[in-house]
Amino acid sequence: MAKIYLIILMGWFAACSSKSLDEKSTEEPVDEMSLISYDGLDLNAIKLPDGFTIDVFARVNNARAMVLTENGTLFVSNRGGDKVYALKDTNGDWKADERYVIASGLRMPNGVAFKDGSLYVAEVSKLWRFDDIEANLETPPKPVKIYDDYPTDAHHGWKYISFGPDGKLYIPVGAPCNICESKNEMYASITRMNADGSDREVYAHGVRNTVGFTWHPETGEMWFTDNGRDWLGNESPACELNRVTEIGQHFGYPYCHAGEVKDPEFGDKYPCSDFVKPAQNLGPHVAPLGLKFCTSEAFPTEYKNRIFIAEHGSWNRDADVGHTGHKITMVAESNGQGVAYDDFAVGFLNKETNTAWARPVDIVFAKDGSMLVSDDLAGTIFRISYTE
């Protein structure tokens, strides 16, 4: 356990010491990691449904959030470092053959989004915009700062960002702690603003730490994952998959977890019935991050509109119990509620040694219907495809 704390503490100091674009130029060399490599990967260990295969699309150090443009440029953040990358497959073999550094010197750059030809990047407290970026991958333009008034806390401070169907940019603000109550409504929330940074407002409350959200392809409703609190035991509470039906809803944190677990410190203040219950409870401590509805025409029809979730994997469980997560799961929903929660891709965790060799982070679907999955442990973008 002491080793775990040391790793976390070292990572925290590294994140806090990295500078902002205000302070450092972006003129740094591309990482030395090979663009296509199988070193350290055990693809044969991955178990998928019949007809699916997994391969390597690219290697990117500490690959985190992704956004894929209509032109096929894949932008990838690396929260554990300080950069944002762009990847291109120019010959159509579904392996990246070009990699560019779009920005460096960022503080925990986890969030990337794309709109009207511009790349949006989120640091802990700031948002940047890179205009006409695809025409300038080799020499990225000077970024435009569109917002710089988010909290600076490192704890749950990294941000996943995305544009919704309404054209607004959505940005979460995690709780600055494992469990705490704050008078500042900005914490433990999902906010949204116009693309130019104006008219920021709180969209959802009581969200401990979401690092992934998406929108239903038919209803347009937001669905998001939320990481459950720590130190309530190996099996509690469940992490959550939530659905937002109107602005201002409260999802329970810090008073109620997983729709039914009263917090031992704050739970007496409000009953769980006061809050929106999860659409689906996930596994305990699985750390669900990125998610997408399956809109792929290349996947079998039974997968249509299923929600695929990248479960990053647990740390707050006893070694003799074993890790949870470290896999890709899927949820089938009906009328806004989960009706099935199943594994899709497992094997990133060696169950015998209780050791992970990869940790899924984010999911996007490519034009050909294949699924791209980022991994920040082995530094890989996996490609999962289906062949009849």
> Does 236 have pLDDT greater than 60?
yes
Question: Which of 61, 15, 11 has its CA nearest to residue 35?
Answer: 61
Structure confidence at residue 290 (pLDDT): 98
The reported pLDDT for the residue numbered 5 is 36
* DSSP structure class, residue 310: E
Region 210-235: what's the mean pLDDT? 97
Stretch 216-244: mean pLDDT, rounded? Answer: 97
pLDDT of residue 4: 38
Convert the pLDDT of each residue in 24-46 to its tens digit: 433 344 556 799 999 999 999 99
**Average pLDDT along the chain:** 92
Give tens-digit pLDDT for 136-190: 999 999 999 999 999 999 999 999 999 999 999 999 999 999 999 998 999 999 9
Question: Helix, strand or coil for residue 342?
Answer: strand
Identify the pLDDT of residue 68.
Answer: 98
Which DSSP letter does residue 250 get?
E
pLDDT tens column, 259-274: 999 999 999 999 999 9
Give 229's contacts (C-beta < 8 A, 6+ positions apart): 178, 179, 208, 237, 253, 254, 257, 263
Candidates 350, 357, 210; CA nearest to 291 is: 210
Q: Can you tell me the distance from the alpha carbon of 102 to that of 65, in angstroms, rounded to the nearest whole number?
A: 14
pLDDT at 20: 47
Q: How does residue 22 score in pLDDT terms, banded at 50, 70 and 90? A: low
pLDDT-wise least confident of 2-6, 118-122, 241-245, 250-254: 2-6
Confidence of residue 21 (pLDDT cuts 50, 70, 90): low
| Residue 388, pLDDT score | 81
Return the pLDDT at 55.
Answer: 98
Task: Classify domain 2-386 at the CATH topology level.
Answer: Neuraminidase (2.120.10)
**According to the model, what pLDDT value does residue 207 have?**
98
Q: Which residues of 98-107 are buried (b: 16+ CB within 10 A; e: fewer)?
A: ebbbbbbbbb
Token pair 């990294």 in the structure block, residue: 158
pLDDT at 51 over 60: yes
Q: How far apart are CA 57 and CA 72, in angstroms?
A: 13
Residue 7 has pLDDT above 60, yes or no: no
